[in-house]
Amino acid sequence: MRVLVAAFGTRGDVQPAMVAALALKAAGHTCDIFVPPSSIEWVRGLGLNATAVGLDYAAVSRAAAEGRFIDLLRTLPMLRHEVDAQVEAMDEVSKHCDLVLGCSVFAAGRLLSERQGVPYRFLALSPFIIPSPQHPAPFLRPQSLPGWINRLSWSFNELLWGAFIKGPINRRRRLMGLAKVPTVWPQLLADVTYLAAEPELFPAPTQLAPTRELHQLGALFLDEPNATLSPKVEAFLRAGPPPLFIGFGSMSDPNPKKTAAAITQGAKLAGKRVIVSRGWAGFELHEDDHLCVVGDEPHHLLFPRCAAVIHHGGIGTTHAAARAGVPQAVMPHLLDQFYTAHRVSLAGVGFGVPRYRLSGARFAEVFTRLSAPQLLERARAVAPTMVMDAAQRLVANITAPR
């Protein structure tokens, strides 16, 4: 089987799709892979043949740095051009593929599958993307709303996305000889959707329109066989008790110096050793026996050796911390991260913390709260129950006769 695999967004959006591609490749299938320019070198480093397409998602992250609704609105016009860019890059390749597998901001998946008459499958990394009365649409932060407000939010979500994306989608459909579509969100998902999320943390939701075939697989973990921790991190880990890890991944920060100063003060007040990931925010701190600043480090090797993890609520980081069996504090910046913080709290493996206006004293409070015995007990109980064969489940479902 030849599969077109396309994933757009930050590394957290792209990585699970690459796990799927590696599993398909290991099973003897061929994958044609398309990712954003910011991910291309890393993906090729996995031994996958990939083509760079579309937006620089670091620019999108900077535009939405504060996570406000107005900031999110600013990013939508950026996505208008993704439809044409994706179709033009993949149209010829799609003629030779047996299936299209999309993930995250993939606007052209259904277009290409309909044009070529091949199946389309979508990889959802969190239930938050599935319209449901159990949670609001992505633009809302509160997560304990009544069902009628959640339903209303999904209607508004469709209007919002339709205002920016429906025009480019239908123009391209007209050029392809395909009928116009009245709605956008179903074009971004698929009639068969795979939920790549751990059921213990992120159970499949009740769907608003239960016509979508939804398969919950479990999280797609990437364990690179040759990955190692840097000598700097190894030395820091060996020099004292397990530290806290804090990092916000591909999230930008409107004032990284202020945040770095608050982290430094919080570590001193709480008397904690802390590893700080620079991330896309570019944090820089004065290093000493209690503070270590790092670049990219393999989470599956680092997190089990930490006391707890403080992060932005990226779905991959959340799963990695849960797998390591350590407590986590989620400081959501935008979109699904508020849903993630809510689910982490409900699962009892951590808690959510408002991200902005954090002082050194507030960081110290978070660092101390993560030492609660009940959090560690619950985190250790969840870790061994997690699904670890999600990639194999995905391949089996994709290749099963229908």
Per-residue pLDDT tens for 204-222?
998 887 567 899 999 999 9
Euclidean distance between CA atoms 68 and 40, whole angstroms: 29
Is the pTM for the entire model greater than 0.85?
yes
Euclidean distance between CA atoms 280 and 25, whole angstroms: 31
Which residues 6+ apart lie within 8 Å of 144 measured at CB? 342
Mean pLDDT, the chain cut into blocks of 10 residues (402 residues total) = 92 92 95 93 92 75 52 62 88 94 89 93 94 92 94 92 87 92 86 94 87 88 87 94 92 82 91 90 82 91 96 94 97 90 96 86 94 96 96 93 74
pLDDT reported for residue 62: 54
pLDDT reported for residue 210: 59
* Cα–Cα distances in angstroms (integers) from residue 47 to residues 3, 25, 50, in the given order: 16, 10, 9
Q: Encode pLDDT of 264-300 as tens digits.
A: 999 999 999 999 998 877 788 887 888 899 988 999 9
pLDDT reported for residue 223: 81
Structure tokens at 276: 């700080």
Q: DSSP characters for 334-368?
A: STHHHHHHHHHHHHTSEEE---SS--HHHHHHHHH
Which residues 6+ apart lie within 8 Å of 81 measured at CB? 54, 55, 168
Nearest to 262 by CA among 249, 281, 280: 281
Hey, what domains does the chain have and what are their CATH numbers? 2-219+388-399 (3.40.50.2000), 231-385 (3.40.50.2000)
Euclidean distance between CA atoms 147 and 46, whole angstroms: 43
Q: DSSP characters for 44-61?
A: HHTT--EEE-S--HHHHH
